């Protein structure tokens, strides 16, 4: 059964509202279609759905904002309940993968420089095509990027706690909100 407790439902409502609000406050994001706290069969307890903009090239700023939106759920849980849950695991996986691809594949870190190593290069049987020191630098840059994403997301949600609360409470009442209802 997909029944979840009222307490969990509240956490999910704030989590999904965090995604939606961060997406609303940032410039480089896909438009929101709807948010819901109705559990899906794929184990998701809720989700935010966006209208994907059909673009193939994404700037560093667009990718950064996208990571902030993904981080919005975890940060909303943290600032609201002063604790975190396992609910953000999938978001964190996507954010981590994106950060590694920005640093390692797309040359978007000035400290790592204009290099491109695919995930396949890194996993090849011959070993990594770079030194341990260089691997450590990549890891360090990814951690810095993720820290910047977290800080930015936290600033947005702390500055808009009132909006987060209104959105989450409306979501708890209605279970699903469309883009128009979120804007209202």
Element spanning 77, H or E: helix 60-81
- In the block, tokens 């667009």 appear at 62
Distance of alpha carbon 99 from alpha carbon 119, whole angstroms: 12
| Bridge partners for 48 per DSSP | 35
Give 4-10 contacts, CB < 8 A, sequence gap 24+.
Answer: 4/39, 4/45, 8/45, 9/37, 9/172, 10/168, 10/172
Catalytic residue annotation: 16
Counting every residue written for the chain, the total comes to 184
Structure tokens at 3: 């029944």
């Amino acid at each position: 059964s997909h029944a979840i407790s009222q307490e969990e439902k509240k956490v999910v409502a704030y989590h999904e509202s965090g995604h939606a609000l961060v997406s609303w406050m940032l410039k480089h994001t896909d438009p929101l279609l709807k948010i819901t706290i109705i559990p899906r069969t794929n184990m998701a307890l809720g989700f935010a759905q966006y209208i994907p903009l059909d673009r193939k090239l994404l700037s560093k700023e667009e990718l950064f904002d996208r990571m902030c939106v993904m981080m919005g759920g975890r940060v909303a849980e943290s600032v609201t309940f002063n604790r975190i849950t396992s609910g953000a695991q999938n978001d964190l996986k996507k954010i981590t993968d994106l950060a590694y691809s920005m640093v390692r594949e797309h040359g978007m870190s000035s400290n790592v420089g204009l290099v491109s190593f695919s995930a396949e290069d890194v996993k090849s049987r011959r070993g990594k095509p770079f030194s341990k020191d260089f691997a450590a630098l990549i890891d360090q840059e990814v951690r810095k990027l993720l820290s910047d994403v977290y800080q930015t997301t936290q600033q947005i949600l702390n500055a808009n706690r009132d909006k987060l609360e209104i959105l989450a409470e409306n979501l708890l009442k209605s279970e699903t909100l469309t883009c128009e209802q979120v804007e209202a």
